[in-house]
Amino acid sequence: MKESAEAELERIDALFELMSGLVQRSSAITDDREANEHFLPSSRLSAAQRVDIYREQFWLRHEDSLTEDFPGTRALLGPKWDDIVRGYLQQFPPTTPSLRELGFQLPDYFENQGSLEPSVLDMARLERAYLEVFDAPDEPPLDPARVAALLPEQWPLVELGTSGALRLLELGSQAADLRRALRAGALGEIAERVEPVYLVVYRRELGLWDKEISRTAYELLGRLASGQALGAACEATAEQRPEAARELDTQLGAWFADWARLGWITRVVVP
Amino acid sequence: MSKAQAPAPSRATRPAHLEVPDLGVGAGLRVPHYGHILEHQPELGFFEAISENFFGGGKPRYHLDRVAERYPIVLHGVSLGIGGPAEPDKEQLKRLRDLARRVRAPWVSDHLCWTGPGGAHLHDLLPLPLTRSVAERIARRAAMIQDYLELPFALENTSSYLTFAQSRMPEWEFATEVCERADCGLLLDVNNIYVSAFNHDLDALEFLRGLPHHRVVQIHVAGHTHFGTHIIDTHVGPTPAPVVDLYREAIRLCGPVSTLLEWDEDIPEFDVVKAETQRLSAVRAQGLTGDAPAVGADVVDRSPVTARHAGSAGRHGGAAGSLAAWSTEPTQDSSAGEAG
């Protein structure tokens, strides 16, 4: 009896699942019996060898992509990189059309690898931030007229929207400097630091930038980015530490001027 | 097959909505060439941009906008996976429509393939079981996409290295079935015909001549890498002689159709790409005037190499190039303004 189109498509979709599993195998496909059931040989290659072309390309393509996108992480891991990338791709197989997003879970994967140096996780988080910021959607700059029109009593209530091309990172190492030194071949010039690094990764005039800021500025920016009103964000930040309150008192105006100039703040929302 | 034995060009009428402009010969828009293109504005028919690489902002979008001010841009997608289990992603289609309007694309294309089951995305242009039910599924989706985009939509025949036991028709019949049912266009890739014909022991000329020429809105030409036992579509180097011969025949059959050179591996200086487009322009003129040498069905590149290749579906087929490819190294901002 002739199979209905719907039933045939169901069978074909199951075949796609099967082929997807074969293509993502870490070792070569050699079992012709399994392949012969669904695929045909050519005059020169067996069915298994033909499926294996796709499998080999899957690994080459994705390993190459991660290697290009995480040069600092790769440099820190050295010869361990290849095995770690294979493990990562098995745990986090690609799910989105863009290869640029392929490594977005790499820091999550590293967090579960207890044996890795914390600096490796820092570097992976930094390099992910660069990738995220690189082609985040464009936004118009903050309109100065909109800021000038705010009444004094409105300021505590406004929400200051941060740019989509901005990421905030608290790191345990100077990953950005380390990455630059690695690429310049000047690793010995980076001094070890024990205190945390508060870093803003952002895009400005098409370029990628990173800028270290104070802990207080970092905490305030984080609150604004999460949608807190300015007044509440300042109060919550000031309550953290006495020095934070003093810093806010003396620096807040300069920070806003700088953050607007750098394109970190792009919107003023008056409730 | 000699020229005298070749069938006459198709007399079928091109559907009105597929009457697209002939843009001559163009090249794929690739990151290493942006600076040269914007500075020197070389004479070229058009550029083709990989759609997904420009859905975001920043450098990619900025450069595409500048190029679009000076050249026609056609959009070529690599991730719809139109033959797979999932329906086309609505958000992706919206981004595609917005981008097409932004660059005033005269048509939009993607591939006859699937890219992953369920939530997976393998970043490859995977081969399809060539059955009527799959053709119907793709045709339904292609018709919907064409309506949504309000632009001619074309599907490209892909290179493949594998045949499903379940296939019931040759690929040219399958492509014809899809395009006729969907009333959409065909992006005819002559290198893919050559590659697939070798890999599947088919006759490349029979493949080419079996396609619906009146639906061809664009032609792709590229190079490949021969491994002896199979050929991989790497888009490397100048167009090999047998592919050039197929291209000339394609033009003879299809008429003046916009032609694009794809060069994605070991990308040379733009002047080298430009010279190759000029060579293809001369071949195109031969095909249009009937001044075409006979095409031999036995012309096969017999120079296998053994290097491993990730194929063309890598950076071409899904991503926008690494930050290094964009010459985008992050810069430290040490400007004053912060305390601490």
Q: Are residues A118 and A221 in the same domain?
A: yes
Chain A: closest CA distance from residue B218 (Å): 24
Same-domain pairing of A154 and A62: no
Angle, helices A215-225 vs A242-261, to 10°: value is 60
- Which of A20, A46, A67 is the endpoint of a domain? A67
Q: Distance between alpha carbon B275 and the CA centroid of its chain, in Å?
A: 20
Using an 8 Å Cβ cutoff, are B25 and B288 in contact? no
Q: What percent of chain A has pLDDT over 90?
A: 82
Beta-carbon contacts of residue B320 (< 8 Å; ≥ 6 apart): A98, A99, A100, A135, B31, B50, B52, B53, B54, B56, B60, B326
Q: Please tell me which of the candidates A57, A71, A208 has its beta carbon nearest to residue B328.
A: A208
Distance of CA B262 to the CA centre of its chain: 8
CA distance B32 to B42: 15
Contact A158, A229 (CB under 8 A): yes
Looking at the structure, tell me whether residues A135 and A42 fall in a common domain: no
Among A40, A47, A94, the residue with its CB nearest the CB of B121 is A94
Q: How many CB atoms lie within 10 A of CB B254?
A: 26
Note whether B314 contacts A64, CB cutoff 8 Å: yes
Question: What's the confidence (pLDDT) of residue B337?
Answer: 40
Mutation target among B99, B131, B309, B333 for the A interface, most CBs of A within 10 A? B333
3-state secondary structure A86-128: HHHHHHCCCCCCCHHHCCCCHHHHHHCCCCCCHHHHHHHHHHH
d(CA A25, nearest CA chain B) in Å: 12
> Which residue segment(s) compose the domain that A4 sits in?
1-67
Q: Are residues A146 and A256 in the same domain?
A: yes
Residues A149 and A26 in one domain: no
User: Which residues of A fall within a CB distance of 8 Å from B334?
Assistant: 211
Residues A59 and A159 in one domain: no
Asked if A9 and A137 sit in the same domain, the reply is no
- Please state which of the four CATH numbers 3.40.50.150, 3.90.1150.10, 1.10.3720.10, 3.20.20.150 is assigned to the domain occupying B20-289: 3.20.20.150
B332–chain A Cβ distance below 8 A for any pair: yes
Provide the token pair at B247: 């291209």
Going by C-alpha positions, the residue among B37, B108, B101, B23 that lies closest to residue B70 is B37
B81: left (phi over 0), alpha (psi -120 to 50) or beta: left
pLDDT in tens, A76-109: 999 999 999 999 999 999 999 989 999 999 999 9
Q: At B282, list the tokens.
A: 């001369």
Question: Which residue in this structure is represented by tokens 């909109």?
Answer: A146
Cβ neighbours of A94 in B, within 8 Å: 116, 120-123
Over its length of 271 residues, how does chain A's per-residue pLDDT go in tens digits? 567 999 999 999 999 999 999 999 999 998 778 788 999 999 999 999 999 999 999 999 999 999 999 999 999 999 999 999 999 999 999 999 989 999 999 999 999 888 888 999 999 999 999 999 999 999 999 998 988 899 999 999 999 999 999 999 999 999 999 999 988 887 665 666 778 999 999 999 899 999 999 999 999 999 999 999 999 999 999 999 999 999 999 999 999 999 999 999 999 999 8
**Region class of B256: left (phi > 0), else alpha (psi between -120 and 50), else beta:** beta
Whether residues A54 and A78 share a domain: the answer is: no
Mean of the per-residue pLDDT values for chain B?
A: 89
Angle at the Cα of A106 from the Cα atoms of A100 and A109, rounded to 5 degrees: 155
Dihedral, CA of residue B121, residue B122, residue B124 and residue B128, to nearest 10: -80
- Sorted by sequence, the CB contacts under 8 Å of residue B78 that are 6+ apart come out as A97, B50, B51, B52, B110, B111, B125, B313, B316, B317, B318
CB contact residues (below 8 A), chain B span 65-124, against chain A: 78-79, 84-85, 92, 114-124
Specify the number of domains making up chain A: 2
| Domain co-membership, A88 together with A146 | yes
Residues A44 and A76 reside in one and the same domain: no
Nearest to B200 among A42, A57, A139 (CB): A42
A67, A92, A109 - which closes a domain: A67
Q: Please give the span between the terminal C-alpha atoms of chain A, in angstroms, as a whole number.
A: 67
Domain C-terminal end among A52, A67, A82:
A67
Q: What is the pLDDT of residues A28-58, one digit of tens each?
A: 998 778 788 999 999 999 999 999 999 999 9
Q: Are residues A59 and A36 in the same domain?
A: yes
Phi, psi of B27 (to 5 degrees): -140, 155
CA distance B338 to B340: 7
Assembly ipTM:
0.91
Please report, for chain B, the start and end positions of each structural domain, with discontinuous segments joined by +. Answer: 20-289
Could you give the CA distance from residue B275 to residue B117 in angstroms, rounded to a whole number?
Answer: 41
> B129: distance to nearest CA of chain A, Å?
8
Q: Which amino acid is at B54?
A: F
Residue B320: band (very low, low, confident or very high) from pLDDT cuts 50, 70, 90: very low
Which tokens in the block code for residue B12? 């079928």
Q: Which residue has the higher pLDDT, B339 or B121?
A: B121
